[in-house]
């Protein structure tokens, strides 16, 4: 048990953070904001999913660059599995956002610029996996998909953080709407929110490491 605590301490931290997020996110008092009311609790699930997605995609693009520099297959495996988990978190972010939007905006999908940009970003990353599946030669597939990964990440940044701010968006912090910091991301929300971002991101990385180990084992068996 002592060995597990030393080597897998971050996994225990992940479990503790998510337990706190779920319990605190649902039970701690929240500010009584117009329209939002109790739906503000979705902040601890929807927004951290997007932070987790971005960090997983960042890890993916870093390993894509490493693969282009070294040609080592393990970096391609890390890159593809982190991107795969990033897409999963992106889908969860969209779904939780749609549930929240249904209560606050009156419909789950209102063609909000940030909603559309988020969907486009995920479609680009889905195209990354379509590309990987369409190339038979392993070395060519790995290098081309690594280049596409870099393109996808740097296209995602303006789609999510620049274009919505230049248009009329319902999202806080976009289109002239104030961000949460400007109108009552109060102490009770902060107690959960920042730890939720850390916890959900750790969960995504944890799942990705399992997929990475399985892929590396499969690669070794194929090479044997």
d(CA 124, CA 66): 21
Q: How much is the average pLDDT of 3-29?
A: 82
pTM (two decimals): 0.89
**Nearest alpha-carbon partner for 153 in 86, 224, 211:** 86
The pLDDT tens digits for 177-224 are 445 554 446 677 888 889 999 999 999 999 999 999 999 998 888 776
Contact 67, 56 (CB under 8 A): no
Contact 31, 219 (CB under 8 A): no
Looking at the chain, the whole-number percentage of residues with pLDDT higher than 70 is 88
For the ranges 120-124, 161-165, 172-176, the lowest mean pLDDT is seen at 172-176
The pLDDT tens digits for 58-89 are 999 999 999 999 999 999 999 999 999 999 99
């Amino acid at each position: 048990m002592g060995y597990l605590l030393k080597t897998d301490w971050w996994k225990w931290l992940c479990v503790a953070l998510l337990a706190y997020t779920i319990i605190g996110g649902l039970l701690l008092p929240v500010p009584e904001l117009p329209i939002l009311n109790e739906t503000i609790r979705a902040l601890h699930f929807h927004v951290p999913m997007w932070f987790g997605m971005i960090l997983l995609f960042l890890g993916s693009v870093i390993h894509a660059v490493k693969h282009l520099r070294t040609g080592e297959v393990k970096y391609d495996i890390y890159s593809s599995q982190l991107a795969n988990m990033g897409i999963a978190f992106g889908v969860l972010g969209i779904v939780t956002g749609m549930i929240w939007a249904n209560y606050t905006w009156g419909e789950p999908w209102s063609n909000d610029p940030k909603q559309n940009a988020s969907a486009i970003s995920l479609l680009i990353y889905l195209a990354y996996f379509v590309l990987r599946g369409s190339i038979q030669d392993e070395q060519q597939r790995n290098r081309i998909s690594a280049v596409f990964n870099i393109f996808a990440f740097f296209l995602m940044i303006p789609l999510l953080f620049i274009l919505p701010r230049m248009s009329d968006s319902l999202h806080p912090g976009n289109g002239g709407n104030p961000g949460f910091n400007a109108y009552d991301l109060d102490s009770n929300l902060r107690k959960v929110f920042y730890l939720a971002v850390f916890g959900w991101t750790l969960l995504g990385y944890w799942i990705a490491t399992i997929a990475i180990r399985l892929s590396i084992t499969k690669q070794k068996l194929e090479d044997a």
